[in-house]
Amino acid sequence: MNANSVLITFLGNIHYDTRTFNLYKTFSEKGFDVDVVSFDWLTERFKAEKGKISVYKLTKKYSSILFYFYFALIISFRILFSKAKFIFAEDVYTLPFCVVFGKMKGARIFYDSREVYGHLAGLGEKKTIQSWLVKIEKTFIQHTTKVFTTGPLDSAHIEKEYNLDETIVIRNLPLYTEIKNPFDFRAHYKLSADTKILLYQGIILHGRGLKIIYDILSELDNCVLVVIGGGEFKDYYQKLSIEKGLSDKVFFFGKLGQNELLNYTAGADIGLSLIENLSLSYYYALPNKMFEYILTGVPVFASNFPQMKDIIDQYNVGSYSDPENREEIISNLQMLIDDNNYRSELKRNCLKASKQLNWEKEIEKLLPYIIIPN
């Protein structure tokens, strides 16, 4: 076993996941020998990547059983042949493999409980799968060295649910970056100089606010919606924008890697985080895109859910509305679009807040549990 070695496992592509990428970057810069095992089954024309960062290609084309079989096979072998002293399970799917095979190797296991897995919106119709995730988490979480979550309410929930000692809150904050050349969406899409850019950033899923914006966009003046990201529902929302006659107001920009994303984020005028109350996991949302907006000086327009509301109120970096109150959303969002002075004030507050709300400061809470190599 290599005392300076870290293995990070994640059922997703590290290049499109800020949290996993930042964890890799932190430990690499601290002098650790870091390996990443991640997976991709969504990116078009994706080619597998091998090395210190490995991204294995999976597919659900044939069956979900084969998908999970190959995932389990790959991650099991990678952990068994790893010499890492510190192993990170970046979701509940990798947790049992990290615990079983990591403990066999004598490694310390860290679990990132990044969702309230017993209350996932995407599994609202699949109660059996959701109950299995709870059983998996409950069984294996007790055998980890330390558990960390994305927000205070998540920590309180999981500590009560599984009778855990204190967990660590590591919010989804971006690496501190000064943006010098924001992307010009107005020039790119040949828009007028006074057109405001509303930005949806992240995985394209139901319940993340796209339907809400689609339903009101024709009533909002002087703005367009830009969507950065991909996912299983991208085609659905592209077709829906055409059906609703929004082709001239909705632009899909595609997926961007972590190294280039923030320059594009900074080109927006308002960043959207209108999560819908479809599950406890969504109600507790404190998404990384909200902090990416703040870091790049883009005022936030979010749902009035407790954890997002607390950040907006504490730092005065945006506005929020009840996601079920259509008229309130239109009124508050149109005010944010129209009031240039107010947005300028919020932008200054965002840039000031970014000095505190960044990954470098946040990750310090986890480092005492890791032996830093000399």
The model's pLDDT over 292-322, given as tens digits with 9 standing for 90+, comes to 999 999 999 999 999 999 999 999 999 999 9
CB 213, CB 225: distance < 8 Å: yes
**What is the 3-state secondary structure of the chain?**
CEEEEEEEEECCCHHHCHHHHHHHHHHHHCCCEEEEEEEECCCCCCCCECCCEEEEECCCCCCHHHHHHHHHHHHHHHHHCCCEEEEEECCCCCHHHHHHHHHHCCCEEEEEECCCHHHCHHHCCCHHHHHHHHHHHHHHHCCCCEEEECCHHHHHHHHHHHCCCCCEECCCCCCCCCCCCCCCHHHHCCCCCCCEEEEEECCCCCCCCHHHHHHHHHHCCCEEEEEECCCCCHHHHHHHHHHCCCCCCEEEEECCCHHHHHHHHCCCCEEEECCCCCCHHHHCCCCHHHHHHHHCCCCEEEECCHHHHHHHHHHCCEEEECCCCHHHHHHHHHHHHHCHHHHHHHHHHHHHHCCCCCHHHHHHHCHHHCCCCC
Q: Tell me, what's the pLDDT at 281?
A: 84
Q: Tell me, what's the pLDDT at 1?
A: 66
Per-residue confidence band for 180, with pLDDT thresholds at 50, 70 and 90: confident
CB 118, CB 133: distance < 8 Å: yes
243-256 pLDDT, tens digit per residue, is 999 999 999 998 88
Q: Which domains does the chain have, with CATH numbers?
A: 2-171+359-369 (3.40.50.2000), 185-353 (3.40.50.2000)
Asked if the model's pLDDT at residue 19 lies above 80, the reply is yes
Q: Tell me, what's the pLDDT at 123?
A: 54
Select the highest-mean-pLDDT range: 150-164, 249-263, 310-324.
Answer: 310-324
Asked if the model's pLDDT at residue 192 lies above 90, the reply is yes
Tokens of 114: 């990044």
Alpha carbon 234 to its chain centroid, in Å, reads: 17
Q: Tell me, what's the pLDDT at 57?
A: 94
Per-residue confidence band for 86, with pLDDT thresholds at 50, 70 and 90: very high
Asked if the model's pLDDT at residue 330 lies above 90, the reply is yes
Query: Is this structure's pTM higher than 0.75?
Result: yes
Asked if the model's pLDDT at residue 196 lies above 70, the reply is yes
Q: Tell me, what's the pLDDT at 50?
A: 93
Q: Tell me, what's the pLDDT at 124?
A: 57
Q: Tell me, what's the pLDDT at 126?
A: 66
**Average of per-residue pLDDT across 21-30:** 94
Average pLDDT, the chain: 92
Asked if the model's pLDDT at residue 129 lies above 90, the reply is no
